[in-house]
Amino acid sequence: MGNCFSCLRSKSTTRSVANNSDNEGLNNVLDKTIEGLDSNDLNPPVMALSNGAHSAPVVSSVGSDNCGSLRSSFTCTRLTNIRLNNFSVKSFHTRVQKLFDIYRDPVEDLILIDGIERLCCDLQMSPEEFRILILAWKCDAHQMCRFTRSEFFNGCQTLQVDSISLMKTKLSDVANDLNYNTEEFKSLYRFTFKFGLDNAVGQRILPVDTAIVLWKLVFNVHEPAILERWLNFLESQDNIRGIPKDTWNMFLNFAESVSNGDLSNYDDTEAWPSVFDDFVEYENDQANQNISDKGNGKKHGGVL
């Protein structure tokens, strides 16, 4: 498998120019206005007088940074927390933007193949490994071998990372914690099909060779018992040119239904894609052929 899944499709001679919409989308994420304080929060504290009446002392400047004794300590605390949170968000944003710029293409505002290779090198990961697929998933990347600025920021925000060391740790943690039977893994699995499509040509069906590579990748940690036989079947069938979305999605259910690899549990009356019927029939023929070959071998041995 080539660098950054590049073996799955040939490099294009022209690059699409990044739209300003990426930056606009990023700005929509980042430029959230901080709501103003409620007027009640800014009211000065009410003080009790000796005659039992109540009076509110006059505060010279509510907007002043001077948290004097006449200002509500609660108001001061809220102002301070808002400023700190605002600073923290801006600081996180700045660090992620600088991280993106390290790997950014010199011409386009994208991380492309060369940048992804350098990113993977710094992460001490192979571009074709499972953890990089997780990174693409968390970024909700729409195309192989590239990250837009907004995709990269969203991925870092989801993972809560703003450095290479944190990203490396978090990607490993997510990979180790992913359970084959959880909705989170199913989300990753469905994303992988979309990620493998060549959107530049409007592709809607995965080429078989691409699907095989991605099945091996997404099941890198938890491999179904039937996977190897399924992939061998696909490689042996010249008439199967592509894998549509429903076949990709249903394979997860199919693998669960024959979790121990025993195809006798397969129910061909259910609404499976026809390629699964073909696979089960192929496997049964192979099994019968093996039994026949063994029988012929014994008879031949007896004659000798």
How does pLDDT run across 38-59, given as a tens digit for each residue? 444 434 444 444 444 444 444 4
Is the pTM value of this prediction over 0.95?
Answer: no
Name the token pair of 105. Answer: 């293409």
Is residue 244 domain-shared with residue 158, that is, in the same domain? no
Residue 43 lies in a domain: no
Mark which of 127, 161, 179 sits at the end of a domain. 179
CATH number at residue 247: 1.10.238.200
Q: Note the pLDDT of residue 222.
A: 86
Is residue 170 domain-shared with residue 140, that is, in the same domain? yes
Burial (0-12, 13-18, 19+ Cβ within 10 Å), 168: middle
Q: Note the pLDDT of residue 296.
A: 55
DSSP string, the chain: --GGGGGGSPPPSS-PPPPHHHHHHHHHHH-PPPPPPPHHHHSPPPEE-TTS-EEPPP-S-TT-S---TTS-HHHHHHHHHHHHHHHHHHHHHHHHHHHHHHH--SSSSEE-HHHHHHHHHHHT--TTSHHHHHHHHHHT-SSTT-EEHHHHHHHHHHHT--SHHHHHHHHHHHHHH--TTSHHHHHHHHHHHHHHS-GGGT--SEEHHHHHHHHHHHTSSS--TTHHHHHHHHHH-TT--EE-HHHHHHHHHHHHHTTTS-GGG--TTS---HHHHHHHHHHHHHHHHHHHHHHHHHHHHHH-
Name the token pair of 198. Answer: 């060549």
Residue 124 lies in a domain: yes
Mark which of 149, 179, 209 sits at the end of a domain. 179
Is residue 167 domain-shared with residue 207, that is, in the same domain? no
In angstroms, what CA-CA distances link 172 with 156, 182, 194?
14, 18, 23
**Structural domains in the chain (count):** 2
Is residue 126 domain-shared with residue 226, that is, in the same domain? no
Is residue 161 domain-shared with residue 197, that is, in the same domain? no
Q: Which residues of the chain have pLDDT under 50?
A: 1-2, 10-21, 26-64, 70, 298-304
Name the one residue in this structure whose structure tokens are 């000798």: 304
Residue 10 lies in a domain: no
Is residue 266 domain-shared with residue 189, that is, in the same domain? yes
Residue 86 lies in a domain: yes
- Rounded Cα distance, 126 and 132, in Å: 8
- Rounded Cα distance, 32 and 17, in Å: 27
Residue 59 lies in a domain: no
Is residue 163 domain-shared with residue 241, that is, in the same domain? no
Q: Note the pLDDT of residue 251.
A: 96
Task: Quote the domain boundaries for residue 216.
Answer: 181-291
CATH number at residue 99: 1.10.238.10
Burial (0-12, 13-18, 19+ Cβ within 10 Å), 150: buried
Q: Note the pLDDT of residue 265.
A: 80
Is residue 158 domain-shared with residue 253, that is, in the same domain? no
Q: Note the pLDDT of residue 194.
A: 95
Is residue 122 domain-shared with residue 195, that is, in the same domain? no
Mark which of 179, 196, 225 sits at the end of a domain. 179
